[in-house]
Every structure is written in C-alpha cells, then in structure tokens.
Chain A
Amino acid sequence: MKRTQLPKSNRVLALAALTALLVSGCGPEYLVLNPAGPVAREELHLIELSTVLVLIVIIPVLALLAYIVWRYRDKPDNKAPYTPKWSESKALEVVWWGIPVVIVAVLGYYTGKSTFNLTEPPQKDVQPLTVQVTSLNWKWLFQYPGQNVATVNYVEIPVGVPIQFELTADAPMNSFWVPELGGQEYTMPGMAMRLWLEADKPGTYYGSGANFTGKGFAHMNFTVKAVSQDEFDQWVKQIKSNSPALTMTGYEQLKQPSVVGTMSYSSYPPGLFHDVVWADGGRYMPDMMNDMTGMQGQTADAAKPNGAATDTAKSPAGDTSSMPGMQMDGGQSAGH
C-alpha cells in the first residue's frame, strides 16, 4: 500500500509547510507579515488576498489528486469505473477555463488598484519629508535636503509623516528595502526614483540592499529608526552641532568600495544628489532631471539648468570631466 500513499504524503508535507508558515507568521521575525506602516500594510493585504484566491484552486487540485490516484489505482479487484475512451467534456472544461479567469480578474483588479495607490503619498494632509538615498559600494548614504544633514547606514524618520525616498546609486544597481515599512525599489545610477514609505509606530526597522552588487553586498544593511517629531527635530539639532560636515573629498572617499559602520554629517555639498544623478547618466534624460529637482524642493538647483554643468566640474562627477567631450555633452543636454 505504500505506493498509493505518495500523493497524500506530498500533499500533507506541502500543506504542513504552508500552515507552519502561516501560523508562525505571527512572530516578530517575519518582517513582511508585521507591517509598521500603511504601505507595508496595503502590500500585506494584497499578499493575503492572493493567498486566499490561489487556495481556491490549490485545495481542490490536491484533494482531487489524492482521491483520483487512490480510487483508480491499477488493482485487479478495483471496482471503480474504467472508461478508457472518455476524453471530452465541454461542461467540465468550461468550469476550469472559467474559474481561473474569474480569479485572475479579481486579483488583477486589486493589484491594479494597489499599484496605482502606492504611487501616491500614504497621507495627503501631512507635509512629507524628503530623504535622498544613494547606494554606494557597499553602504547607504542618506541626505535630508530639508534639514541639510546626512547619514550613512542608518536613517531616522518621524512617525506619522509620509517619507518621500528619492533613490539613486553611484555604484552598480541595488535595491532599497525596509520590509516592515514597505516593499523595495531599485536604486540605479543616473536615475532618481521615488518610493513612499511611512512608519506609524516608533521602532527600529531592518533595511537592506536587496539587489546583488558584488563582494560587500551581504553587509549592506541599515536601520530605519522611527521616532516622534520632537525627537526627530532634536536628533537633527544634535547632528548639526556635533557631527562633522561631509565634504566633496569625504564623499569621494565614501564612494570607494568598502564596508563601514554608521556615520552622521552636519551638512553635505549643495546639490550633491542632483549632481550624482546627472553625472551618472541623468544628463541624457532632461525630463527626469527637471522632474526631480522640481519635486525635491532644492531651490538652489531647480532654477539653473545651465548651472548644472558648472556644478558638475567640482562635484563627484568631477572625475569624469577630465574625459574629453564630457563638458560639452553636459552643456548640450542641459540646454534642452
């Protein structure tokens, strides 16, 4: 009889694993299942909805398989009907073309709705905070354009305030991921992308670079610390008075491949984020550049399409300006 137990034990194994997963999902180490903000919560709802929808198909399939293999096994004394030529049934086929179509339609609708929702700030009536994120080999640089402070490998945010993360890379492409606050978005050289996140309870959250970038990749973790607005303001004040400034030279050093701990800076070179994006390829996408500077409230940069080229000469992209044709390229692009 051992043979006939095959599909059952497979099913039991699979179901047990799935149940174990769902039950143990309550533990705090299951970051995705313990959202600490509206974005992660919306994503979790979609995860739950999709799980339920696929179970509508999975459970009958597993049950049918177990039943059929047991009932129609090839035994001399098996009395079950045997119809070797029966091979068509319009009614049955309509059922299993139809049910998946309905499931996909339902899930597709909610997926679309959620996808569009997540491009908007989680709350519209609270003034958002902008944090500019640059992934480097192998560390994270965070700049606060509103506060003019910067940090490395940790980021502090006020609770209950939508955070507009602007993402880029000055290194191979990575991905910015804070599971408890919401899903990830790529950081890419020459691109400035946006990700809305928000924390609605104070805490320290795990963040990581999710996209492989070479040797030091596994050490690219950072923490997100969500605190009250008052504590946040105090923290900014403290950094302003106690930490060194990030200079251009300092940025150049930071950019060198290495794994480092956390750092704080009381200021950073003006327009650094903009210039990095521009130098790494943003110059070829004037629309994106305009869009970015308009959004981030960097008044200094927003008004100087021609100034960008000059800026670059002394900015991190300065190393590229020694290449022939670089300056001219920039001038043309900025002139658009």
Chain B
Amino acid sequence: MPDALRQFADTYLMWQEGPMIWISDVLILLTSIGIVATLTYFKKWKWLWREWLTTVDHKKIGIMYLIAALLMMFRGGADGLLMRTQLAAPGMHFLDAEHYDQIFTTHGTIMILFMAMPFIFAMFNIVVPLQIGARDVAFPYLNAISFWLFFFGALLFNISFVFGGSPDAGWFSYPPLSELQFDPGPGENFYLLALQISGIGSIATGINFLATILKMRAPGMTLMRMPLFTWSVVAACIVIIFAFPALTVALALLMLDRIVGTHFFTILHGGNPMMYINLFWVWGHPEVYIVVLPAFGIFSEVVATFSRKRVFGYSSMVASLILISVISYFVWAHHFFTMGAGADVNTFFAVASMAVGIPTGVKVFNWLFTMYRGRIRLNLPMLWTIAFVPCFALGGATGIMLAAAPADYQYHNSYFLIAHFHQVLIGGVVFGMLAGMYYWWPKMFGFKLDERIGRWAFWFFNIGFYVCFMPQYALGFMGMQRRMYTYPADMGWGTLNFISTVGAYLMGIGFVLIVAQVLYSIKYGERDLTGDPWDGRTLEWSLPSPVPHYNFAVIPTVTDRDYWWKLKEEGRTDELKPKPEDIQPIHMPKNSGRPFIMGVLFFVAGLGFVFNWYVLAVLGLLGVVVTLLARSFEYDDEYYIQPEEVEHVEAALGRL
C-alpha cells in the first residue's frame, strides 16, 4: 500500500519536487481546515449557503467577485515576486527553468483572466443596476451561473499548482510548444479547461449586462443620460460578446489536438500553429480593452465627483468608448508583426494600432478638462485616478512606439514590451479597479476604507511601480528578452534587474497595506450613514449604504444626466425618498443552489478531461445537462416582496 501511496503522491501531488510544494500542500491543507473549523465553530454553514452560495443578488455576486479578484491578485502577485526574486541577480538558483516557466505562465493567466476579469465583473455587478435604476440584472440566475463558472474555472486552474502540475507554455500557450509532442503533462490541460469553463461565464456576463443596460433602465434615463461607467460597460460587453468566441474556438481546437489527437495546430499532418496565434489574439487584443474600458468608466465617474463638476465632453467620451471597442478588432496582428506577414498587412495593423491612441488621448484630455475649473478633493479614489493619468499616458506612448512595426521588430519579446503592457494594465486596469473599489466600497459595505493606511499603500504601490518597470524599458533596449529564467553576468543587465526587483517588493508592500487597510477599516472605518459619502452625482448615491436587497423601493423617473446632483442642487432630494402610497409589491428572483452545483459539476468534468479520466468527465457533463433540464422545468422561481416589508425596511433606514 505505501508504494501505491507514494506513486500517487509523486504523480499527482508532485511530492518529489521538493520543499516548495510540500510547504504549499501543508499551507493549503491548514487553510482549508481553518476555514471549515471556523464555519463550524460559529455555526455559519447555513448562513454561507443561504446568503452567499445560493444568492442571485447582483450586489452579493459583485462582492464575491471582488473577494476572488483580491485573492487572485495575491496569488498572481506572489508569482510575480518569485520571478523578480529569481531575476534579481545574474545566474541565480532560486528557481529552476521548469518552475520559472510555470510561474510566469500562471502569473500572466491569473492576472488577466482570474484577477482583472473578476475585478471588472465585480464593478459591473455592484454598480450597473444601481446606476440605471434597476432592481437586479436582466438574468439574475444566469449571473449566478457566470460567477460560479468563473469561480470553479479559477479553482481548477489554481489547484494545478499542487495537483498534477502547472501549465508552462506561457499565458498565450502557443502551439506547437503547447502540443502534446512538446508538453505532455496535465498542466496545459488545466489551462485549457479552466479558461474554457470561466470563458463561458464571461460570455454570459457580457450578454447579461448588455441586456440589462439596454432593457432595464429607469424611465427617463435615455442612452445619452447614462452615467459614463454604464456606457463603458456597454462598450466592454460588446467586445466580450464578439471576442470571447474566438478564444473558445482556439482553446477547443487545441484541446482536441491534445486529447483526441487531431492536428489543427501540430507541426505534422497539415496542422498550422499560426492559426492558433491569430485566433488567440483576435480575442487577446480586444481582451485588454475589455478590462480597460470599465476602468475608463470608473475614472470618468471619479473625476467628475471629486472635481465637483460635470464630466467634460460627454458625447466625445461616449463616442471614444465605442470607437475604441470597434478599432480593438482591427489591431490583433500587432502581436506578431514578426511572423512574416507582408509589408502591406503589417502597415495596416500598425496604423490601426496607432489609431486606438486617438480616442484614448481624447479621453485623457477630457478628464483633465473635467478637473479644470473644478474643485479637486484628493481622496483615495481621486488619488488613484490622478496617478493613472501620467502612468497610462506613458504606457500609451510606448504603445504607439510599439505600433510602429519596424521598431517593433526590435521591441518584440523584449523587456520593453513587458514594461509597456504592465504600465497600461497596472496603470489602467489595476489603478482603475482600486479607484472603483475605494469609491464604491461604502456603497457595498456601509463604511469607508481608512484614508491614512490607504495613502501609505498608494505611495508604496506607485513608487514601487515606477522603480519596478521603468528599468525594464531600458533592459529591452539592452536586448534582454522576456521569459528567461536566468541571464549571463556579462550583458550588464544585473543592476537594472536588481532595481526592478526592489520595486516589485515595494508594490508587494503596497498590496499588504491594502489588505491591512481593509481589515482595520472593518472595525474602525468611518461609517457611511448618509448613503452619499463623496457627494456623488449619479443614482446609486441616492440609496442608503449598504443598499437594501430590492435596491429601489420606488423606481425613480430620471430627467437629467447627473440626476442626483441636480436634485441636490435644487434641494429636491426628498423626491427620491419613497412615499408609502407609491410602494408596490416588488417582483424578485428566488435564490437557487443550482448555479453553484452546476459549477461543481463543470469542475468535475474539467478535472476528468485534464487527466483523461473520461468516466468522470462524462459524469460531470451529464450532471450539467441534468441541472440545465431541471432549470427548464422550474416554474416557481420568483416571489414578491410585500409593501409592508418594504415600508418596514425603509422606515428603519429613516427614509419614510
């Protein structure tokens, strides 16, 4: 028996890999035991199931996305620090090539798909229905399915670290390197299945929010009266709906290559790896706009609120959002100018890529002129927004430089590229999501996050960012290519790499401070009793914090763009307080445990495919079909909140 046990440990738990895996195994085991014990001790299992796992409430789903995104930022950040530690000096032996390859693969995949995506979905969920005056999203049940597919996709991806082995072919996983011939382990399967499962959820979210915004706006809220964050969600959802299917296809074909033995992208039998590269970036480039557009929306909200001024050039802002989402489909080949396309093709994609800079530049100027002749308050959301401008402007500028195809022959695959995309993704997306988190935190939880610790976190993260990534531009000019696990001493790359590593640790401290800030504020944070702690402009600030589960007791009728601001200006805020005679029974969706169960079943099927355990895979998929059928025959899935209950809640909040 011990022999069988050892074989199992070696094959699946990678026990022979050494102390790093052992420690991880033990830590994960202890954490799991800790969570189970805590829930049991405080008798919270039922609460967890009823309030969270089965919820279809957009606000709770948003909070779960947020927690997941922060956890994944931790995991991805830890990967980043491991890499930077290995690169701190030439010829280091902290990680070997295999581990380094796995770590940069998981770092990239997690940061884009399991950190940035849930973070934007958190903002979609928490904010959009409140901003447009709706009581939930168009398809609340589907919304819960989206979340659980994301969650179990992320779980599947993450367990590869301690069970079976992590993927190691880079986050874009180019064949033929990612084919069975060169990459036989289960790691690559984990990548394919995890992305596929969470990708289904992402497409559903795109459809859900587009439908929500188009169909569920409060009376009077015309498209051109929508807050800019909501507009940015429209733009992002359009991109999701058109771009994600390309990823689905690319992943599915590569999976068939690996599991069934087809030859779509293999070297032999007429396979063509270039097809994968094209499909991947047909999704991959729009993907970066998917994550950055909502950030643009957040900046527009924050800038207007904290400058106490209407956003400048609203129509231009909307036009540029839509323009960016359209142009984003015509730039994908700039990820492989060096793949031998003709000069005509390269020139087209080069100019199209530069053209994205035009509407983006317009937005930057409009934000600046929103602040111009305003009254600027430097609270945390605004701090991150102001820091975003120079960071993103520089990142955008190096993006234009990269778009010049012949120059890209020199930048491609070098640290110049690494510095560029970290600058736009951190400066744009991470800064944006943090600004959004600070801004809407009181709306979610009813208290503000502590400003003082927040400022420390801000400075550590910001200074750390420049110390980490500015040297990498220089390293690119020095010829250092990405993904090297080690480098020779005679190239002169040592000093700048060391500085870069120091910067990475400063950013790590910044993240730890953010966590500390959250923990501190839970206990000591300033409570938000007004529902409008920032003197906001849009509808969500007319509601109490946290928002009652039905959102609006009475749906408001909107007559202006910054409607809440206008009411405050004219002293008419009482108009949005419900009157007893106006309160009708409120129609709400019922909670359901099935989305969660469906996620589990997808996970089981995914695990089956990863290890070629087809019985498990088929059982999982059958289970999914059963849950789908069960939903089709479910008729009792909604209920009414009676006016008395609404009156009771509103009275307790002092709004009646």
Contacts and interface: CB of A to CB of B under 8 A. Distances in A.
A221 B490 CA distance: 13
A61 B376 contact: no
Contacts of A320: 268
A47 B481 CA distance: 18
Contacts of B483: 212, 217-218
A28 B400 CA distance: 26
Contacts of B476: 32
Contact of A218 (B350, B405, B478, B484): B484
B550 interface: no
A112 B350 contact: yes
Contacts of B482: 210, 212
Contact of B401 (A20, A50, A96): A50
Given A100-B357, A212-B177, A69 B462 contact: no
Interface stretch (A77-85, A124-132, A156-164, A242-250): A77-85
B409 interface: yes
A64 interface: yes
B308 interface: yes
Contacts of B410: 32, 40, 43-44, 47, 179, 182-184
Interface in B300-357: 307-314, 316, 336, 338-340, 342-343, 346-347, 350-351, 354-355, 357
Contacts of B466: 10, 13-14, 17
B613 interface: no
Given A6-B387, A42-B406, A31 B478 contact: yes
Which of under 10, 10 to 19, 20 to 34, or 35 or more describes the interface residues of A?
35 or more
A214 B206 CA distance: 35
B470 A21 contact: yes
B406 A111 contact: yes
Interface string B380-417: 00010011011101100110110111111110111000
A172 interface: yes
Given A50-B401, A182-B409, A218-B486, A85 B176 contact: no
B401 A13 contact: no
A241 interface: no
Interface string B469-481: 0110110111101
Interface string A1-30: 001101100110110011011001101011
B373 interface: yes
Given A104-B355, A173-B177, A218 B485 contact: yes
Contacts of A179: 410, 479
A184 B375 contact: no
Contact of B358 (A72, A104, A211): A104
A114 interface: yes
A82 B373 contact: yes
B182 interface: yes
B309 A84 contact: yes
B631 interface: no
A218 B487 contact: yes
A11 B466 CA distance: 11
Interface stretch (A146-154, A185-193, A229-237, A264-272): A185-193
B623 interface: no
A65 B389 contact: yes
Interface stretch (A87-95, A296-304, A306-314): A87-95
Indicate the member of B316, B383, B389, B486 with the most A CB atoms within 10 Å.
B389
B372 interface: yes
Contacts of A218: 97, 483-487
A320 B270 CA distance: 13
B378 A115 contact: no
B159 interface: no
B404 A111 contact: yes
A54 B401 contact: yes
B474 A21 contact: yes
* Interface of chain B, main secondary structure: helix
A175 B414 CA distance: 11
Nearest to B177: A172
Contacts of A21: 470, 473-474, 477
Interface stretch (B192-200, B271-279, B436-444, B594-602): B271-279
Count chain B CB atoms within 10 A of each CB in A46, A84, A194, A209 and give the residue with the most: A84
Nearest to B458: A6
Contacts of A208: 479, 481
B378 A211 contact: no
Given A50-B404, A96-B365, A116-B347, A32 B479 contact: yes
Nearest to B274: A188
Residue with the greatest number of chain B CB neighbours at <10 A, chosen from A11, A73, A78, A100: A100
B463 A189 contact: no
B256 interface: no
B424 to A, nearest CB: 14
B371 A72 contact: yes
A224 interface: no
A216 interface: yes
A58 B474 contact: no
Contact of B481 (A110, A177, A182, A215): A177
Nearest to B183: A214
B492 interface: yes
Contact of B354 (A108, A182, A183): A108
A280 B267 contact: yes
25 contacts: A4-B378, A7-B387, A7-B389, A17-B466, A31-B479, A46-B407, A50-B400, A50-B407, A58-B394, A68-B368, A72-B374, A85-B309, A93-B366, A111-B403, A177-B481, A188-B273, A189-B176, A189-B273, A208-B481, A210-B414, A214-B177, A214-B183, A215-B101, A218-B483, A281-B267
Nearest 5 A/B pairs, CB to CB: A183-B409, A17-B470, A172-B177, A29-B492, A54-B397
Interface of A: 3-4, 6-7, 10-11, 13-14, 17-18, 20-21, 24-25, 27, 29-33, 40, 42-44, 46-47, 50-51, 53-55, 57-58, 61-62, 64-65, 68-69, 72-74, 78, 80-89, 92-93, 96-97, 100-101, 104, 107-108, 110-112, 114-119, 137, 171-173, 175, 177, 179, 182-186, 188-191, 193-194, 206, 208-218, 221, 280-281, 284, 320, 323, 329
